[in-house]
Chains A and B, each alone.
Chain A
Amino acid sequence: MTLDPCERCEELMQEFLDRTLSDAEWREAETHLAECDYCRRRYRFEETLRRYVKLSAVERMPPGLMSKLEELRGLDAMA
């Protein structure tokens, strides 16, 4: 079965964002994105979403946890 170009682009999108496509696949996706508004918008959306997913985890350690970890220093299975 042959996918239409947008379906194919959708299939490649995550790995395109991960930068793990082969050179040939990369060019295929890039070429399609350059000429297709529909997929380019979705690419932009996915890219932004990734950034926000990462931001969602930006949370400092609770105060006091570091000193609890410091107290664990010196534990030794062989002692």
Chain B
Amino acid sequence: MQARVIEGYGSSVTEPEPAVDARRIAAQALSRVRFEEEALDLADQVYRVARRLVGSREEAEDLVQETYARAFRSWRSYTPGTNMRAWLLRILTNLNVDRGRRVQRTPQMQPLEESDYYLANKVASAAGEDALEQDQVVERLSQDSIVHALADIQPQFREVVVLVDIGDFSYADAAEILDIPMGTVMSRLHRGRRALKQRLAEETVA
């Protein structure tokens, strides 16, 4: 019998003997169950990111299922102790690209507003400087408006905003997940946030 080297979950093992082979299989099964449990514990968070990346609840649900199907299939390639949430979201964002969702919304290039204070300035000129310090004013840029505005911005900007501002990932994690340089994360984030505020200004501040 050929010795096999198993990599990934658990240490590498070289083991030709049947008795030990059975133990190895048992150990592997246990690792795998742990892996699955850990992954499923993150499902809510994974769904939250998916929900903001794609247009509808149904698409988000599909995307999460595909993500878990792929994750479970390739559980051996996950290195225990590393960031599983980032690992899962990397699968998810890749699938999202594969499925061509990037082009679905055919977003046009939006001219970018000149200022980061753009929305704040709009609010201030509509409701006064003091309005900027009132939570209710931002609250009135209601949940729905933010969701719509987010859905409206270009996908490569949306991805980064969703990961960093909603998923709480660091720039470095987002860079790893999306497989782009950190500088690109930062510039897309910057532009994405501006685009988001611009959409909000258009939608909510007459």
Contact = CB atoms under 8 A, between A and B. Distances in A.
Same complex: yes
Interface of A: 10-11, 13-14, 18, 20, 37-38, 41-42, 44-46, 48-62, 65-66, 68-70, 72-78
B165 A70 contact: no
Contacts of B146: 52-53, 56
A14 B143 CA distance: 21
27 contacts: A10-B116, A13-B116, A14-B116, A14-B193, A18-B171, A41-B132, A42-B117, A42-B120, A45-B120, A49-B141, A49-B197, A52-B138, A52-B146, A53-B165, A53-B166, A57-B48, A57-B162, A57-B166, A58-B48, A59-B48, A65-B43, A66-B40, A72-B65, A73-B40, A75-B72, A76-B72, A77-B74
Given A69-B40, A72-B65, A20 B124 contact: no
A65 B47 contact: yes
Nearest to A77: B73
Given A57-B48, A72-B65, A41 B43 contact: no
Contacts, number: 110
Contacts of A61: 43-44, 47, 64
A55 B197 CA distance: 16
Given A48-B138, A59-B51, A69 B123 contact: no
Nearest to B65: A68
A62 B57 contact: yes
B171 A20 contact: yes
Interface string B49-78: 101100001000100110011001111100
A69 B40 CA distance: 8
Contact of A66 (B43, B52, B161): B43
B129 A75 contact: no
A14 to B, nearest CB: 6
Contacts of A53: 146, 150, 161, 165-166, 196
A37 B103 CA distance: 43
Contacts of A20: 171
Contacts of B195: none
